[in-house]
Amino acid sequence: MRVLVIGAGPAGTRCAERLAERGAEVTLAGAEPALPYDRVALGRVLSGEAEVRALITHDAARLRALDIRFRAATRIAAMERAAGSATTARGETIVWDRVVLATGSDAVRLPLPGAELPGVFVYRSIADVQAMRRAVSGGATAVVIGGGLLGLEAAAALSMAGARVIVVHALGWPMERQLDPVAGALLARQLGATRRLRFVMPATTEGIEGDHHVRALRLADGSRIACDLVVMAVGIRPAVALAREAGLQVSRGIVVDDAMRSSDARILAIGECAEHRGVVCGLVAPALAMAEVAAATLLGEQRAYAARPDTAALKVSGIAVWSAGEIAPPDAEAVTLSDEEAGFYRRLWLRGGRLVGAVLYGDTADAPFYLDLLSSGRPVEPFRARLAFGAAFAEAA
Protein backbone atom coordinates (compact mmCIF):
# COMPACT_ATOMS: atom_id res chain seq x y z
CA MET A 1 0.00 0.00 0.00
CA ARG A 2 1.48 3.33 -1.10
CA VAL A 3 0.50 6.07 1.32
CA LEU A 4 1.16 9.74 0.69
CA VAL A 5 1.16 11.78 3.91
CA ILE A 6 0.80 15.48 3.14
CA GLY A 7 2.26 17.70 5.87
CA ALA A 8 5.23 16.78 8.08
CA GLY A 9 4.02 18.41 11.31
CA PRO A 10 3.53 16.32 14.46
CA ALA A 11 0.36 14.63 13.17
CA GLY A 12 1.65 13.70 9.72
CA THR A 13 4.99 12.52 11.03
CA ARG A 14 3.42 10.34 13.74
CA CYS A 15 1.05 8.74 11.25
CA ALA A 16 3.86 8.14 8.74
CA GLU A 17 5.94 6.52 11.47
CA ARG A 18 3.16 4.16 12.58
CA LEU A 19 2.43 3.11 8.99
CA ALA A 20 6.08 2.59 8.08
CA GLU A 21 6.65 0.47 11.18
CA ARG A 22 3.98 -1.89 9.84
CA GLY A 23 5.36 -2.15 6.35
CA ALA A 24 3.41 0.44 4.36
CA GLU A 25 5.29 2.31 1.63
CA VAL A 26 5.15 5.85 2.95
CA THR A 27 6.02 9.16 1.31
CA LEU A 28 5.96 12.09 3.74
CA ALA A 29 5.82 15.45 1.96
CA GLY A 30 6.36 18.62 3.97
CA ALA A 31 6.19 22.17 2.62
CA GLU A 32 8.74 23.45 5.14
CA PRO A 33 12.44 22.98 4.37
CA ALA A 34 13.17 21.51 7.81
CA LEU A 35 13.19 17.92 9.01
CA PRO A 36 10.13 17.11 11.19
CA TYR A 37 10.37 19.20 14.35
CA ASP A 38 8.61 19.96 17.62
CA ARG A 39 6.53 23.05 16.85
CA VAL A 40 5.37 23.26 20.48
CA ALA A 41 8.95 24.05 21.54
CA LEU A 42 9.53 26.95 19.10
CA GLY A 43 9.47 29.42 22.00
CA ARG A 44 12.78 28.01 23.22
CA VAL A 45 14.42 29.00 19.94
CA LEU A 46 12.77 32.42 19.96
CA SER A 47 14.00 33.12 23.48
CA GLY A 48 17.52 31.89 22.65
CA GLU A 49 17.38 28.94 25.06
CA ALA A 50 17.71 26.33 22.31
CA GLU A 51 19.08 25.92 18.80
CA VAL A 52 16.85 24.82 15.94
CA ARG A 53 18.56 21.43 15.75
CA ALA A 54 17.41 20.62 19.29
CA LEU A 55 13.81 20.73 18.02
CA ILE A 56 14.25 18.11 15.30
CA THR A 57 12.26 15.00 16.26
CA HIS A 58 13.11 12.82 13.24
CA ASP A 59 16.56 13.22 11.75
CA ALA A 60 17.58 11.79 8.38
CA ALA A 61 18.96 8.59 9.94
CA ARG A 62 15.73 7.88 11.80
CA LEU A 63 13.60 8.49 8.71
CA ARG A 64 15.88 6.19 6.73
CA ALA A 65 15.69 3.49 9.39
CA LEU A 66 11.90 3.70 9.22
CA ASP A 67 12.11 3.57 5.42
CA ILE A 68 10.01 6.73 5.10
CA ARG A 69 10.56 8.67 1.88
CA PHE A 70 10.77 12.15 3.30
CA ARG A 71 10.40 15.05 0.89
CA ALA A 72 11.31 18.37 2.51
CA ALA A 73 10.35 21.69 0.89
CA THR A 74 7.72 19.83 -1.10
CA ARG A 75 4.35 21.50 -1.21
CA ILE A 76 1.58 19.39 -2.70
CA ALA A 77 -0.26 21.71 -5.07
CA ALA A 78 -3.08 19.42 -6.23
CA MET A 79 -4.59 15.99 -5.72
CA GLU A 80 -6.02 14.10 -8.68
CA ARG A 81 -8.45 11.71 -7.03
CA ALA A 82 -9.55 9.85 -10.16
CA ALA A 83 -5.96 9.18 -11.21
CA GLY A 84 -4.76 8.41 -7.69
CA SER A 85 -1.94 10.92 -7.89
CA ALA A 86 -0.78 14.26 -6.51
CA THR A 87 1.23 17.05 -8.06
CA THR A 88 3.91 18.98 -6.22
CA ALA A 89 4.45 22.72 -6.60
CA ARG A 90 7.49 21.86 -8.73
CA GLY A 91 5.29 19.83 -11.07
CA GLU A 92 6.34 16.31 -10.07
CA THR A 93 3.74 13.54 -9.79
CA ILE A 94 3.42 11.26 -6.76
CA VAL A 95 1.23 8.16 -7.12
CA TRP A 96 -0.79 6.91 -4.14
CA ASP A 97 -3.25 4.28 -3.01
CA ARG A 98 -4.19 6.22 0.13
CA VAL A 99 -3.63 9.83 1.27
CA VAL A 100 -3.38 11.27 4.76
CA LEU A 101 -3.94 15.02 4.84
CA ALA A 102 -2.05 16.56 7.76
CA THR A 103 -1.71 20.11 6.52
CA GLY A 104 -2.27 21.74 9.93
CA SER A 105 -3.14 25.41 10.19
CA ASP A 106 -1.92 28.75 8.96
CA ALA A 107 -1.44 31.65 11.33
CA VAL A 108 -3.97 34.42 10.71
CA ARG A 109 -2.58 37.73 9.43
CA LEU A 110 -4.86 40.65 10.29
CA PRO A 111 -5.68 42.55 7.10
CA LEU A 112 -4.49 45.86 8.63
CA PRO A 113 -3.02 48.68 6.57
CA GLY A 114 0.74 48.16 6.76
CA ALA A 115 0.44 44.43 7.53
CA GLU A 116 2.77 43.60 4.65
CA LEU A 117 5.62 45.84 5.89
CA PRO A 118 8.96 44.22 6.71
CA GLY A 119 9.04 43.73 10.48
CA VAL A 120 5.53 42.22 10.73
CA PHE A 121 5.58 38.56 11.70
CA VAL A 122 3.40 35.62 12.60
CA TYR A 123 4.50 32.89 15.02
CA ARG A 124 4.11 29.45 13.50
CA SER A 125 7.25 27.96 11.98
CA ILE A 126 11.04 27.77 12.27
CA ALA A 127 11.27 30.34 9.47
CA ASP A 128 9.05 32.78 11.44
CA VAL A 129 11.14 32.37 14.57
CA GLN A 130 14.45 32.81 12.78
CA ALA A 131 13.18 35.99 11.12
CA MET A 132 11.99 37.36 14.49
CA ARG A 133 15.32 36.60 16.10
CA ARG A 134 17.13 38.59 13.43
CA ALA A 135 14.73 41.50 14.05
CA VAL A 136 15.21 41.60 17.84
CA SER A 137 18.99 41.46 17.86
CA GLY A 138 20.45 44.62 19.31
CA GLY A 139 17.49 45.39 21.60
CA ALA A 140 14.25 46.37 19.96
CA THR A 141 10.70 47.23 20.93
CA ALA A 142 8.23 44.54 19.94
CA VAL A 143 4.46 44.76 19.94
CA VAL A 144 2.60 41.47 20.15
CA ILE A 145 -0.99 41.70 18.93
CA GLY A 146 -3.01 39.11 20.81
CA GLY A 147 -2.82 38.13 24.46
CA GLY A 148 -3.83 34.51 23.99
CA LEU A 149 -1.66 31.49 24.84
CA LEU A 150 0.55 31.91 21.78
CA GLY A 151 0.84 35.69 22.01
CA LEU A 152 1.91 35.53 25.66
CA GLU A 153 4.43 32.81 24.93
CA ALA A 154 5.88 34.88 22.07
CA ALA A 155 5.97 37.97 24.28
CA ALA A 156 7.79 36.20 27.11
CA ALA A 157 10.30 34.68 24.68
CA LEU A 158 10.97 38.02 22.95
CA SER A 159 11.51 39.64 26.34
CA MET A 160 14.01 36.93 27.19
CA ALA A 161 15.72 37.61 23.84
CA GLY A 162 16.28 41.20 24.94
CA ALA A 163 13.31 43.08 23.48
CA ARG A 164 11.04 45.53 25.25
CA VAL A 165 7.62 43.96 24.79
CA ILE A 166 4.14 45.42 24.72
CA VAL A 167 1.11 43.14 24.41
CA VAL A 168 -1.92 44.69 22.74
CA HIS A 169 -5.05 42.69 23.45
CA ALA A 170 -8.64 43.24 22.32
CA LEU A 171 -10.23 42.05 25.58
CA GLY A 172 -9.86 43.32 29.14
CA TRP A 173 -7.71 40.41 30.34
CA PRO A 174 -5.30 37.96 28.64
CA MET A 175 -6.24 34.40 27.65
CA GLU A 176 -9.91 35.28 27.91
CA ARG A 177 -10.97 32.01 26.33
CA GLN A 178 -9.18 29.98 29.00
CA LEU A 179 -9.32 32.27 32.04
CA ASP A 180 -11.94 34.27 33.90
CA PRO A 181 -11.19 37.97 34.62
CA VAL A 182 -9.66 37.32 38.07
CA ALA A 183 -7.16 34.71 36.85
CA GLY A 184 -6.46 36.89 33.79
CA ALA A 185 -5.62 39.88 35.97
CA LEU A 186 -3.30 37.75 38.14
CA LEU A 187 -1.54 36.55 35.02
CA ALA A 188 -1.05 40.05 33.58
CA ARG A 189 0.32 41.19 36.94
CA GLN A 190 2.80 38.33 37.20
CA LEU A 191 3.97 38.64 33.57
CA GLY A 192 4.52 42.35 34.15
CA ALA A 193 6.56 41.73 37.29
CA THR A 194 8.62 38.77 36.14
CA ARG A 195 8.89 39.26 32.35
CA ARG A 196 8.57 43.07 32.13
CA LEU A 197 5.62 42.73 29.74
CA ARG A 198 3.43 45.79 29.39
CA PHE A 199 -0.24 45.27 28.54
CA VAL A 200 -2.40 47.65 26.56
CA MET A 201 -5.99 46.34 26.85
CA PRO A 202 -8.72 46.43 25.88
CA ALA A 203 -7.43 47.93 22.66
CA THR A 204 -8.23 47.63 18.98
CA THR A 205 -5.49 47.86 16.39
CA GLU A 206 -6.15 50.03 13.37
CA GLY A 207 -2.98 49.99 11.34
CA ILE A 208 0.78 49.59 11.19
CA GLU A 209 2.84 52.62 10.23
CA GLY A 210 6.22 52.78 8.50
CA ASP A 211 7.72 53.41 5.06
CA HIS A 212 10.22 50.64 4.42
CA HIS A 213 9.92 49.06 7.85
CA VAL A 214 7.57 49.00 10.83
CA ARG A 215 7.73 52.14 12.97
CA ALA A 216 4.54 52.14 15.02
CA LEU A 217 1.25 50.45 15.71
CA ARG A 218 -1.80 52.70 15.54
CA LEU A 219 -4.77 51.99 17.80
CA ALA A 220 -8.43 52.79 17.19
CA ASP A 221 -8.40 55.45 19.95
CA GLY A 222 -5.83 57.37 17.87
CA SER A 223 -2.82 56.54 20.06
CA ARG A 224 0.41 55.15 18.61
CA ILE A 225 2.92 52.69 20.02
CA ALA A 226 6.40 53.15 18.55
CA CYS A 227 7.98 49.78 17.79
CA ASP A 228 10.51 47.95 15.61
CA LEU A 229 8.56 44.78 15.08
CA VAL A 230 4.98 43.57 15.28
CA VAL A 231 4.01 39.96 15.94
CA MET A 232 0.46 38.94 15.09
CA ALA A 233 -0.75 36.15 17.35
CA VAL A 234 -4.44 36.39 16.64
CA GLY A 235 -5.43 32.85 15.79
CA ILE A 236 -5.07 30.05 13.31
CA ARG A 237 -7.05 28.83 10.32
CA PRO A 238 -7.13 25.17 9.20
CA ALA A 239 -5.21 24.69 5.93
CA VAL A 240 -7.99 23.19 3.80
CA ALA A 241 -7.41 24.65 0.32
CA LEU A 242 -5.92 21.45 -1.11
CA ALA A 243 -8.83 19.35 0.19
CA ARG A 244 -11.43 21.85 -1.00
CA GLU A 245 -9.96 22.03 -4.48
CA ALA A 246 -9.96 18.24 -4.63
CA GLY A 247 -13.71 18.31 -3.94
CA LEU A 248 -13.63 16.82 -0.45
CA GLN A 249 -16.26 17.87 2.09
CA VAL A 250 -14.88 20.85 4.01
CA SER A 251 -16.61 22.90 6.69
CA ARG A 252 -14.22 24.80 8.97
CA GLY A 253 -11.85 21.85 8.66
CA ILE A 254 -11.82 18.75 6.46
CA VAL A 255 -14.83 16.78 7.66
CA VAL A 256 -13.85 13.32 8.97
CA ASP A 257 -15.65 10.40 10.65
CA ASP A 258 -14.54 8.59 13.81
CA ALA A 259 -11.98 6.59 11.78
CA MET A 260 -10.54 9.86 10.31
CA ARG A 261 -11.92 9.17 6.81
CA SER A 262 -12.86 12.18 4.72
CA SER A 263 -15.80 12.17 2.29
CA ASP A 264 -13.53 10.04 0.05
CA ALA A 265 -12.75 6.87 2.05
CA ARG A 266 -9.26 6.59 0.48
CA ILE A 267 -8.30 10.00 1.86
CA LEU A 268 -7.97 10.58 5.60
CA ALA A 269 -7.40 13.85 7.45
CA ILE A 270 -5.79 14.36 10.86
CA GLY A 271 -4.58 17.10 13.19
CA GLU A 272 -5.51 20.75 12.98
CA CYS A 273 -6.79 20.54 9.39
CA ALA A 274 -9.46 17.97 10.32
CA GLU A 275 -12.94 18.59 11.69
CA HIS A 276 -14.33 15.79 13.81
CA ARG A 277 -17.97 16.01 14.98
CA GLY A 278 -17.97 19.75 14.35
CA VAL A 279 -14.76 20.38 16.29
CA VAL A 280 -11.37 21.49 14.92
CA CYS A 281 -8.51 20.88 17.37
CA GLY A 282 -5.75 23.39 18.11
CA LEU A 283 -3.47 21.31 20.32
CA VAL A 284 -0.87 18.66 19.72
CA ALA A 285 -2.32 15.87 21.92
CA PRO A 286 -5.55 15.44 19.90
CA ALA A 287 -3.55 15.81 16.66
CA LEU A 288 -1.34 12.87 17.69
CA ALA A 289 -4.33 10.82 18.85
CA MET A 290 -5.92 11.33 15.43
CA ALA A 291 -2.66 10.21 13.79
CA GLU A 292 -2.78 6.92 15.72
CA VAL A 293 -6.40 6.33 14.69
CA ALA A 294 -5.70 7.10 11.03
CA ALA A 295 -2.78 4.69 10.95
CA ALA A 296 -4.94 1.98 12.52
CA THR A 297 -7.70 2.62 9.97
CA LEU A 298 -5.28 2.28 7.05
CA LEU A 299 -3.89 -0.92 8.55
CA GLY A 300 -7.40 -2.38 8.60
CA GLU A 301 -8.01 -2.11 12.34
CA GLN A 302 -11.17 -0.82 14.00
CA ARG A 303 -10.33 2.25 16.05
CA ALA A 304 -12.46 5.32 16.80
CA TYR A 305 -11.20 8.74 17.76
CA ALA A 306 -12.79 10.14 20.91
CA ALA A 307 -12.16 13.79 21.71
CA ARG A 308 -11.17 14.68 25.28
CA PRO A 309 -11.71 18.05 26.94
CA ASP A 310 -9.15 20.64 25.83
CA THR A 311 -6.73 21.79 28.50
CA ALA A 312 -4.60 24.91 28.39
CA ALA A 313 -1.29 25.48 30.11
CA LEU A 314 1.01 28.44 29.49
CA LYS A 315 4.63 27.48 28.80
CA VAL A 316 6.29 30.38 30.62
CA SER A 317 8.53 29.09 33.36
CA GLY A 318 7.62 30.14 36.87
CA ILE A 319 3.99 30.76 35.97
CA ALA A 320 1.50 28.08 36.95
CA VAL A 321 -1.80 28.44 35.19
CA TRP A 322 -4.09 25.74 33.87
CA SER A 323 -7.65 25.54 32.68
CA ALA A 324 -10.01 23.03 31.12
CA GLY A 325 -13.62 22.68 30.07
CA GLU A 326 -16.19 25.48 30.06
CA ILE A 327 -14.99 28.78 31.50
CA ALA A 328 -17.57 30.88 33.35
CA PRO A 329 -20.65 29.39 31.64
CA PRO A 330 -23.66 31.52 32.66
CA ASP A 331 -25.82 28.55 33.71
CA ALA A 332 -23.30 26.92 36.06
CA GLU A 333 -22.59 27.29 39.79
CA ALA A 334 -19.11 28.47 40.73
CA VAL A 335 -16.88 27.41 43.63
CA THR A 336 -13.92 29.67 44.41
CA LEU A 337 -10.84 29.35 46.61
CA SER A 338 -8.68 32.41 46.49
CA ASP A 339 -5.72 34.22 48.03
CA GLU A 340 -5.06 36.83 45.37
CA GLU A 341 -2.34 38.60 47.35
CA ALA A 342 -0.36 35.37 47.39
CA GLY A 343 -1.12 34.77 43.72
CA PHE A 344 -3.30 31.75 44.40
CA TYR A 345 -6.71 31.34 42.82
CA ARG A 346 -8.93 28.44 41.90
CA ARG A 347 -12.40 28.56 40.36
CA LEU A 348 -14.52 25.56 39.46
CA TRP A 349 -17.83 25.46 37.59
CA LEU A 350 -20.48 22.83 38.31
CA ARG A 351 -23.67 21.88 36.53
CA GLY A 352 -26.05 19.13 37.63
CA GLY A 353 -23.61 18.04 40.35
CA ARG A 354 -20.76 17.53 37.89
CA LEU A 355 -17.61 19.52 37.17
CA VAL A 356 -17.80 21.27 33.77
CA GLY A 357 -14.89 23.74 33.93
CA ALA A 358 -11.86 24.70 36.02
CA VAL A 359 -9.24 27.44 36.27
CA LEU A 360 -6.17 26.95 38.48
CA TYR A 361 -3.72 29.76 39.12
CA GLY A 362 -0.58 29.65 41.23
CA ASP A 363 -0.74 25.91 41.94
CA THR A 364 -1.64 23.47 39.19
CA ALA A 365 -0.67 20.23 40.91
CA ASP A 366 -4.32 19.16 41.06
CA ALA A 367 -4.88 19.57 37.31
CA PRO A 368 -4.99 15.78 36.63
CA PHE A 369 -7.62 15.35 39.36
CA TYR A 370 -9.92 18.00 37.88
CA LEU A 371 -9.31 16.77 34.33
CA ASP A 372 -10.36 13.30 35.39
CA LEU A 373 -13.57 14.68 36.94
CA LEU A 374 -14.27 16.64 33.76
CA SER A 375 -13.61 13.72 31.41
CA SER A 376 -15.45 11.08 33.42
CA GLY A 377 -18.41 13.24 34.43
CA ARG A 378 -18.23 11.60 37.88
CA PRO A 379 -20.72 13.22 40.39
CA VAL A 380 -18.92 15.54 42.83
CA GLU A 381 -21.74 15.83 45.39
CA PRO A 382 -20.19 13.29 47.80
CA PHE A 383 -17.15 15.57 48.30
CA ARG A 384 -18.36 18.91 47.03
CA ALA A 385 -17.48 20.77 50.25
CA ARG A 386 -13.85 19.73 49.81
CA LEU A 387 -13.71 19.83 46.02
CA ALA A 388 -11.78 23.11 45.74
CA PHE A 389 -9.04 21.84 48.07
CA GLY A 390 -7.90 19.27 45.54
CA ALA A 391 -7.47 15.52 45.23
CA ALA A 392 -5.97 14.80 48.65
CA PHE A 393 -8.88 16.37 50.55
CA ALA A 394 -11.72 15.48 48.21
CA GLU A 395 -10.73 11.84 47.85
CA ALA A 396 -10.11 11.42 51.56
CA ALA A 397 -13.78 12.27 51.95
Ligand X SMILES: Cc1cc2nc3c(=O)[nH]c(=O)nc-3n(C[C@H](O)[C@H](O)[C@H](O)COP(=O)(O)OP(=O)(O)OC[C@H]3O[C@@H](n4cnc5c(N)ncnc54)[C@H](O)[C@@H]3O)c2cc1C
Judged by the rule CB under 6 A, the positions of this chain that interact with ligand X are 6-12, 29-32, 39-40, 42-43, 75-76, 102-105, 123-124, 150, 239, 242, 271-272, 282-285, 287, 315
Residue 122 or 188: the one with the smaller Cβ distance to ligand X is 122
Q: Which residue, 30, 198, 42, 7, is CA-closest to 121?
A: 42
Residue 217 or 312: the one with the smaller Cβ distance to ligand X is 312
Q: Which residue, 11, 41, 5, 50, is CA-closest to 24?
A: 5
Q: How far is the CB of 379 from ligand X (least distance, A)?
A: 29
Q: How far is the CB of 124 from ligand X (least distance, A)?
A: 5
Q: How far is the CB of 93 from ligand X (least distance, A)?
A: 14
Residue 31 or 112: the one with the smaller Cβ distance to ligand X is 31
φ and ψ at 280, to 5 degrees? Answer: -110, 130
- Residue 354 to residue 278: CA distance in whole angstroms: 24
Residue 123 or 345: the one with the smaller Cβ distance to ligand X is 123
Q: How far is the CB of 344 from ligand X (least distance, A)?
A: 23
φ and ψ at 212, to 5 degrees? Answer: -105, -5
Can you point out the beta strands (E) in 270-391? 274-276, 279-280, 311-313, 321-325, 333-339, 344-351, 354-361
Q: Which residue, 65, 88, 105, is CA-closest to 4?
A: 88
Contact 241, 269 (CB under 8 A): no
Q: How far is the CB of 257 from ligand X (least distance, A)?
A: 18
Q: How far is the CB of 223 from ligand X (least distance, A)?
A: 29
- Residue 371 to residue 356: CA distance in whole angstroms: 10
Residue 117 or 270: the one with the smaller Cβ distance to ligand X is 270
Q: How far is the CB of 28 from ligand X (least distance, A)?
A: 9
Residue 24 or 100: the one with the smaller Cβ distance to ligand X is 100
Query: SS3 helix, strand, coil % of the chain, rounded to 5?
Result: 30, 30, 40
| Residue 264 Rama label (left phi>0; alpha psi -120 to 50; beta) | beta
CA 355 to chain centroid = 25
- Residue 298 to residue 291: CA distance in whole angstroms: 11
**Partners of 144 in the β-ladder:** 167, 231
Pairing between β-strand 229-232 and β-strand 120-122 as defined by DSSP bridges? parallel
Residue 124 or 346: the one with the smaller Cβ distance to ligand X is 124
Q: How far is the CB of 34 from ligand X (least distance, A)?
A: 8
Q: How far is the CB of 63 from ligand X (least distance, A)?
A: 15
Pairing between β-strand 344-351 and β-strand 333-339 as defined by DSSP bridges? antiparallel
Cis amide bond preceding 181, omega within 30: no
| Other beta carbons within 10 Å of 156 | 27
Q: How far is the CB of 288 from ligand X (least distance, A)?
A: 8
Residue 239 or 387: the one with the smaller Cβ distance to ligand X is 239
Residue 31 or 348: the one with the smaller Cβ distance to ligand X is 31
Residue 30 or 114: the one with the smaller Cβ distance to ligand X is 30
